[in-house]
Structure 1
Amino acid sequence: MRPATPPCATDDYDLAIIGAGVVGCAVARRFALAGAKVVVIEKGSDILSGASKANSAILHTGFDAPPDSLELELVKAGRAEYLADRESLGLSLVETGALVCAWTPEEAGRLEAIAAQGHANGVEGLTLMTASQARATVPGLSGRLVAALEVRDEHIIDPWTAPLAYLTQAVALGARLLRQAELLAGRYEGGWHLTTSAGDIRARAAVNAAGLYGDEVDRRLGFAPDFEIRPRKGQFVVLDKAAFGHVPRILLPVPTEITKGVVVCPTAFGNVLIGPTAEEQDDRVRATVEREALEALLARGAQIVPALAAIPVTAVYAGLRPATEKKHYRVTTRPEQRAITLGGIRSTGLSAALGLAQHALRLHDAFGLPARPRVDPPPVTLPNLTETGARDWQQPGHGEIVCHCELVTRREIEAAFDSTVPPGDFGGLRRRTRAGMGRCQGFYCNARLAEMSRGRLAVPLAVEDRDEA
């Protein structure tokens, strides 16, 4: 069996990034483009093994972000860079737009203030609509709708290809990814000496992008954390592709002070997503799904778009967001120890990741370390996995259709294993190819996938292979 990570010899790096979620991957790319020698330390067997693997996949505009906040600045910067670089990296964009839906007169009365905040945040394309105007754009909306606010430029993307592309480009520039490498301790003595479960690392500077473990990583680096992670569970329901025609736009609730609320939105893969819930818990690892909560999500979806009541469920899942005791991003810089913490990055992290990477580089520049020559990005174009472009199954010579639900080919699976950043576990293979993510949830294709992945995953798919490992 291929090991998850080559043995880690002590080495010298310009920057060690702790955490290979979407933020860590974006930071690795930005620093590698700046000429830095980068190592990314991930305790899981693959990237996106924590909070980043479960999100609603919306590319936000920042229309409802706190005014004059760091979050607003970085969401806008991250979105702009995503749009500028998406074609060269092969990133997706499904231009749906969104409606903030008001279901009571009281909610309708708050739409004007939300629009005013959006305009103050520099977001264009905000239009107040009557219920009939909104239903003209989404005919399936319930007759209970009172009013809506159109947000023209809120769109959906493939949430997993983006961070994979960021890290792929970083690795192509010489960055190193260490998987199954949990940070155990760190000390600063003119540079960082990091002890991980995969070996020791030396680096001139460090970035904590550990998400759900951001406060714990700060402690292991010898700092007193200035925030406390309070995991917030979000449960989701994924409806069958038949639902897609009923939900052509993102349908947002009028937000509260506590949560953005339950969203009904199309996905880049042709399904419809309902969620998330917002449930605080102590456990940072397990995010269970519960029948009562899932049934409530289905009922809420049917209240918003009644036709969804007849659509079967394809999948359910739950994720954890790294919430803290405060709502805003928790970014800390410690120049004396050349350390940066990017903490409390919650629901807008996918949109803000590239902006956070820009911000981290600016903070790092203030450390006064010698600059390296910036480099041109190598060509990195990841294959399209969305329903908005050509897929591999439509091209000749693909070998076979391995996953019939999602039309995933043998060529796509082999390409994932032969890629610059191959999957380390079955979840990583699913996120790179969509295999096993359809109606049968792998019932028909898992045996073939286990055969194809034998000896190539740190956590084997086949039970007998796990026993041998």
Structure 2
Amino acid sequence: MTVKTAEDRLHDVAIIGGGVVGCAMFRACVLAGARTVLLEKGGDLLEGASKANSAILHTGFDATPDTLEVTCMQRGYALYRDICENMNLSVMKTGAMVAAWSADDIACFPAIMDKAARNGVPVKQLDAQQARLREPALSKDVRGAVLVEEEHLIDPWSAPLAYARQAVENGGTHLCRARVESGVREGNVWRLDVAGKPAVRARVVINCAGNHGDLVEAIARPSPFTITPRKGQFVVFDKTASDLFRTIILPVPTALTKGVVVTRTVFGNVLVGPTAEPQTEREFPTVEHDALEKLREAAFRIIPALRDHDVTTAYAGLRPATQFSDYQIEALPTDGWITVGGIRSTGLTGALGIAEHVVGLYRAHFADPSPLANVVVPSMPNLVEERPRPWMQPERGPIVCHCERVTEHEIEAALTDRVLPAGTLGGLRRRTRCMMGRCQGFYCTRRVMELAQSHLPGLVSPTGKGRSDV
């Protein structure tokens, strides 16, 4: 008797790309009743654009009205609020202020408030005194602000990992290190050629490939959009700065970017960024000294007291921008294909709404399966500072990462998880926060490597043996 593997089983849906949108799509398709496989080219989920973002749950107050983007964002916002408690996912209400620093900024307020009203988001204009009363650490140069009370912060990695976990626990299949190199439509079935693995067969393919979306789209047709990755660099200030303010501080946006944001994180840091730099490189965003210095100076102009606090680290991410301002989502009924491209920086908020919209396209054009009954709902480990964490428990065991207070048990649990184990060192960091603190792994790396060595393929051992391509 031959047992079919996940690769050669016929699936209803194959999703290409395991970022936040792909993970949300995975969950939605599985819960809708479709036999679904998620294909991710990296060694773990969230290895691409989704590993670097500002972790804000947006109301969509400043999105272009009557677009698919704002529709999906606001639906995603509502769906996240609906599921977060049962899944033990964080949501921290902070509010946001669009701060004005000049008369020109003030002149933009009526348009900002009109757009918010058209999007159904309540906002309030503050004068300079009111803005500083809410956030005393703001520079005295502030001229006023538009207050958006319902903006929130979330854990940007636990959320999509929860979506993928729920999909797997309810019968979905995910494959990492599964780069789709080509595909061919044979009758009503796609055969996707996957590097180093047997071909994957599915009736419908959903392209959620992020920064590679136009390249993957070429499997089905000449891509109607071109991805020009937009690099965003960030600096992260030490946890000592987190008590300076609470509200997310936004600039007046431009046509290209929302501008430099100053915000706390649910992990207790202060985040400043991003830049907005178009580039051709799709894989490896670099950080540059001059850009980071400009971010620091921008932060000091907004909250002068940040000068007294150290920068812990810096990082960069790539957003899959296209020549179009709206999301590029389209069903190709005769080709068994759904395109999900150009999701850019609002993907974290929009992901659940995008997935719901695409499942609607799937039902309208391809199949109408019966939704799952008795759905398994996972509960995620807590990584955020405003809730109790494992290191606080009496039987916590040894602490490995003292900067982030990560226990040995947490690391071992992430590596041996039967459903969605960490597949790379980056994946381990995103599941536990190890090596992400003030020392950036200087003190804990050796012990983390000892614990991870037998679980992560190709990891360099503490003695220097092995590969480092993880």
Fold-level similarity (TM above 0.5): yes
3-state SS, counterpart of residue 26 of structure 2? helix
Alignment-derived partner of residue 324 in structure 1: 322
Q: CA deviation at 1:111?
A: 1.1
Alignment-derived partner of residue 415 in structure 1: 413
**Which residue of 378, 398, 419 corresponds with 1:380?**
378
1:136 aligns with 2:136: no
Alignment-derived partner of residue 3 in structure 1: none
Alignment-derived partner of residue 104 in structure 2: 106
1:194 aligns with 2:192: yes
Structure 2 residue runs without a partner (length 5+)? none
Q: Deviations over 1:10-56 (max 9, x none)?
A: 11111000000000000000111111111000000010010000000
Q: Is the 8 A contact 1:424 1:459 kept in 2?
A: no
Alignment-derived partner of residue 76 in structure 1: 74
Q: Deviations over 1:150-187 (max 9, x none)?
A: 00011111100000000000000111111111001111
Q: CA deviation at 1:459?
A: 4.1
- For residues 42-53 of structure 1, what are the structure 2 equivalents within 5 Å? 42-53=40-51
Alignment-derived partner of residue 216 in structure 1: 215
Q: Is the 8 A contact 1:8 1:200 kept in 2?
A: no
Q: Is the 8 A contact 1:426 1:461 kept in 2?
A: no
Q: Is the 8 A contact 2:89 2:159 kept in 1?
A: yes
CA distance in 1, matches of 2:372, 2:145: 46
Q: CA deviation at 1:379?
A: 2.6
* One-letter code aligned to 1:456: H
CA distance in 2, matches of 1:248, 1:80: 23
Q: Deviations over 1:68-121 (max 9, x none)?
A: 000010001000000000011111011110000010011011112201110110
CA distance in 1, matches of 2:445, 2:424: 13
- For residues 204-283 of structure 1, what are the structure 2 equivalents within 5 Å? 204-219=203-218, 221-283=219-281
Alignment-derived partner of residue 38 in structure 2: 40
CA distance in 2, matches of 1:41, 1:467: 23
Alignment-derived partner of residue 285 in structure 2: 287
Q: CA deviation at 1:372?
A: 3.2
**Per the alignment, do residues 356 and 461 of structure 1 end up closer, same or farther by CA in structure 2, a change over 3 Å counting?**
farther
CA distance in 2, matches of 1:343, 1:376: 32
CA distance in 2, matches of 1:188, 1:78: 32
**Which residue of 167, 177, 181 corresponds with 2:178?**
181
CA distance in 2, matches of 1:76, 1:9: 36
Runs of 4+ in 1 over 3 A off after TM superposition: 6-9
CA distance in 2, matches of 1:158, 1:122: 25
Q: Is the 8 A contact 1:424 1:457 kept in 2?
A: yes
CA distance in 2, matches of 1:131, 1:44: 47
3-state SS, counterpart of residue 88 of structure 1? coil
Q: Is the 8 A contact 2:336 2:366 kept in 1?
A: no
CA distance in 2, matches of 1:41, 1:306: 46
**Which residue of 56, 59, 64 corresponds with 1:58?**
56
Q: Deviations over 1:368-426 (max 9, x none)?
A: 42523433320300011001100000012221100000000111111112221111110
Q: Is the 8 A contact 1:338 1:364 kept in 2?
A: no
CA distance in 1, matches of 2:150, 2:48: 28
Q: Is the 8 A contact 2:220 2:337 kept in 1?
A: no
* One-letter code aligned to 2:124: T
Q: Deviations over 1:320-370 (max 9, x none)?
A: 000011211111210111211110001100000000000110000012425
Alignment-derived partner of residue 347 in structure 1: 345
3-state SS, counterpart of residue 245 of structure 1? coil
1:465 aligns with 2:462: no
**Per the alignment, do residues 154 and 324 of structure 1 end up closer, same or farther by CA in structure 2, a change over 3 Å counting?**
same
**Which residue of 285, 294, 297 corresponds with 2:295?**
297
Alignment-derived partner of residue 449 in structure 1: 448
1:436 aligns with 2:435: yes
CA distance in 1, matches of 2:221, 2:457: 32
Alignment-derived partner of residue 160 in structure 2: 163
Q: Normalised by the size of structure 2, how large is the TM-score?
A: 0.96
CA distance in 2, matches of 1:370, 1:110: 46
3-state SS, counterpart of residue 254 of structure 2? coil
Q: Is the 8 A contact 2:460 2:468 kept in 1?
A: no
CA distance in 2, matches of 1:162, 1:191: 32
CA distance in 2, matches of 1:394, 1:371: 45
**Per the alignment, do residues 269 and 185 of structure 1 end up closer, same or farther by CA in structure 2, a change over 3 Å counting?**
same
CA distance in 1, matches of 2:229, 2:371: 40
* One-letter code aligned to 2:144: A
Structure 1 residue runs without a partner (length 5+)? 1-5
CA distance in 1, matches of 2:205, 2:177: 18
Q: Is the 8 A contact 2:204 2:337 kept in 1?
A: yes
Alignment-derived partner of residue 424 in structure 1: 423
Q: CA deviation at 1:276?
A: 0.3
Report % sequence identity: 48
* One-letter code aligned to 1:454: Q
**Per the alignment, do residues 400 and 217 of structure 1 end up closer, same or farther by CA in structure 2, a change over 3 Å counting?**
same
Aligned length: 462
**Per the alignment, do residues 241 and 467 of structure 1 end up closer, same or farther by CA in structure 2, a change over 3 Å counting?**
closer
